Structures are given as structure tokens and as C-alpha cells.
Amino acid sequence: MATRQTQSLAKLMRAPAIILLLIWMVVPLAMTLYYSFMNYNLLNPTGTSFAGWFNYQYFYTDPAFWESIWNTLILVLGVLLITVVGGIAIAMLIDKPIFGQGIVRILVISPFFVMPPVAALIWKNMIMHPSYGVFADIAKFFGMQPVDWFAQYPLFSIILIVAWQWLPFATLILLTALQSLDGEQMEAAEMDGAPALQRFIYLTLPHMARAITVVILIQTIFLLGVYAEILVTTNGGPGNASTNLTFLIYRAARLNFDVGGAAAGGIIAVVLANIVAIFLMRAVGKNLD
């Protein structure tokens, strides 16, 4: 059916998108790779020279680097744990026969649409502030000493904010999966006297497995890049206590003007993200067939 004419027309229609994305992917990445082997500081641009592996060496022998890798890991895993477990629980709750399901859905999904700086500042000032926040009000109500969350538990505080932002996403996707669950199968299991926990483990969970995988992989891609939430709350501190890899690279580039070091860090971030990406591509690729 496809004539040669429509074939070449199709090629012409595809070309702009492909060329643009090719440039967007190749040019900056090649530049990053190039800079990662150069001594290049914006404060001293004339002192630019070939650096070999120095930037990489410098980056990964820096204690801040390992701390940031560790923080990145804890941040991603912490948020994943809260959002996946919480998402399953909330999705199952919303899926129950309830009054006002539509409004409940809207309320639960809302945090996802709050831009990161706003989400973080609301939590920082109105919820977790040691003197004026709601948490402090609750603590005072029970006669306890309010906690200075961002000073004492900086990483945990950020995990809490980011988890709040991503819980709706997990819930919504898991709910979509849950609603395609075969009701008759569930009823049959119930009639046969399978207890709720067994029905959950043998019917619900396997049915949601694919959606859970997708949630984990997609969130991981975004969670590796958490930035604004850290910038407006702890600014990576105290010390490096809440600095993730993204924030460390940002600091090297924008605050220390260390182009070479930031580029080397960027390449490391690409490698990390790619490990996750390979798994995601497989999961999505299966769906294309």
C-alpha cells in the first residue's frame, strides 16, 4: 500500500524530529566528555589545559563524592519505598466502593502538579518549620520539643517532600493497573474462601507487577535528578548531608566554576542513569510488539 512517494514523504516528516534530537543528544554530551578531560575553570579561563583522567580522579577521591552517591542512593530508595508501598495501599483504598471517589482521586493526585520549588517551600515553611510549622504546633500541643527537621534530619526531610510529590504518580498508575484486574477471578477466590492477604499476594500483586516495575523505573530516572527541592530547603547541607550527585555537580559547575570537574561528574551521572535506563527500555520495549 505504501508507495515510494509516500515513503519519501514519511521520511521527510520524520527528519526534523530526529535531527533535532540527535543534535540535542550528541553535541552537549560530546562537549561534556571533552571538558571532562580538560583543566578548565571559568575564573581562570587562560589556564585551560589537557587534564587526562585528573578530573575523574579528583572527583571520585573527594569524600563529598562518595557522600553524594550514598545520599543519592538513600534518597532514591527511600522515596521508592514510601511511594510504592504507600501507592499500593492508597490505590487499593480508592478502588474500594466509596462515596465521592472522583473527588478523592483529585485530592490524592494534586501534589504531583505542584512545581518542586513551591512544594519544597510549603513544606519547609508551613509544615516543618521549627517554630511556625504545623509539625511544631503538633509537638507543642503534646508538650514536646519541636524538631528542627532540616538541621537535624536533612536527608529525611527531603525524602519526605519528594515522596509527597511522587506518591500521586505511583498511586495513579497502580490504580490504573488495579482497575483492569478481573473482578470475577477475585470473586471466585473469595467464594473459595481465600483470605484477603492471600488474595492480595496471589492475585493483586502479580497483576500489578508490571505497573510496579514501571513506577520504580520511571521514578528512579526522575529521582536521580532531584535538585530544586534541595536548593530551596537545605542547599545541600549541613555540610554535605543532603547533597546528591546532581547537586554536587551543580555546585562544582555554578559555584566553583570548575567546568572540568563538573563535566567529569556529569559523565558519571550519565553512566548511572544509563544503568537504570537499560532496564526501563526493556520494560517499555516489550509493550511495542
Peptide bond into 154 cis (omega under 30): no
Give the residue, chosen from 44, 125, 185, 198, that forms a contact with other proteins under the rule CB under 8 A: 125
CA distance 113 to 48: 43
Q: Tell me: does residue 207 bind other proteins (CB under 8 A).
A: no
Give the residue, chosen from 41, 117, 146, 237, that forms a contact with other proteins under the rule CB under 8 A: 117
Give the residue, chosen from 63, 183, 193, 206, that forms a contact with other proteins under the rule CB under 8 A: 183
Residue whose C-alpha is closest to residue 212's, from 46, 37, 74, 86: 86
Report the site for other proteins in 55-94 (rule: CB under 8 A): 90, 93-94
Instruction: Output the smallest distance, CB 66 to other proteins, in A.
Output: 18
Instruction: Give start and end residues of each alpha helix (H) in 62-109.
Output: 63-95, 101-109
Q: Could you tell me which stretch among 56-64, 77-85, 106-114, 194-202 binds other proteins (CB under 8 A)?
A: 106-114
CB 108 within 8 A of CB 94: yes
Q: Tell me: does residue 142 bind other proteins (CB under 8 A).
A: no
Q: Tell me: does residue 137 bind other proteins (CB under 8 A).
A: yes
Provide CB contacts within 8 A for 80, sequence distance 6+.
216, 219, 220, 223
Identify the three-state secondary structure at position 38.
strand
Provide CB contacts within 8 A for 56, sequence distance 6+.
36, 264, 267, 268
Give the residue, chosen from 77, 85, 107, 151, that forms a contact with other proteins under the rule CB under 8 A: 107
Instruction: Output the smallest distance, CB 259 to other proteins, in A.
Output: 5
Q: Return the number of other C-beta atoms located less than 10 Å from residue 216's C-beta.
A: 19
In this structure, what is the dihedral angle of CA atoms 11, 15, 21, 26, given to the nearest 10 degrees?
Answer: 100
Q: What's the grid cell of residue 138?
A: 503538633
Nearer to other proteins, 155 or 208 (CB): 208
Give the residue, chosen from 7, 44, 57, 256, that forms a contact with other proteins under the rule CB under 8 A: 7
Q: Tell me: does residue 191 bind other proteins (CB under 8 A).
A: no
Q: Could you tell me which stretch among 63-71, 74-82, 149-157, 222-230 binds other proteins (CB under 8 A)?
A: 222-230
Give the residue, chosen from 54, 70, 148, 225, that forms a contact with other proteins under the rule CB under 8 A: 225
CB 239 within 8 A of CB 194: no
Q: Tell me: does residue 115 bind other proteins (CB under 8 A).
A: yes
Report the site for other proteins in 261-280 (rule: CB under 8 A): 262-263, 265-267, 269-270, 272-274, 276-277, 280
Give the residue, chosen from 100, 143, 193, 206, that forms a contact with other proteins under the rule CB under 8 A: 100
Q: Tell me: does residue 13 bind other proteins (CB under 8 A).
A: yes
Give the residue, chosen from 66, 151, 187, 195, that forms a contact with other proteins under the rule CB under 8 A: 187
Q: Tell me: does residue 199 bind other proteins (CB under 8 A).
A: no
Q: What's the length of the chain?
A: 289
Q: Return the number of other C-beta atoms located less than 10 Å from residue 8's C-beta.
A: 10
Q: Tell me: does residue 38 bind other proteins (CB under 8 A).
A: no
> How far from the centroid of its chain's Cα atoms is residue 240's Cα?
20
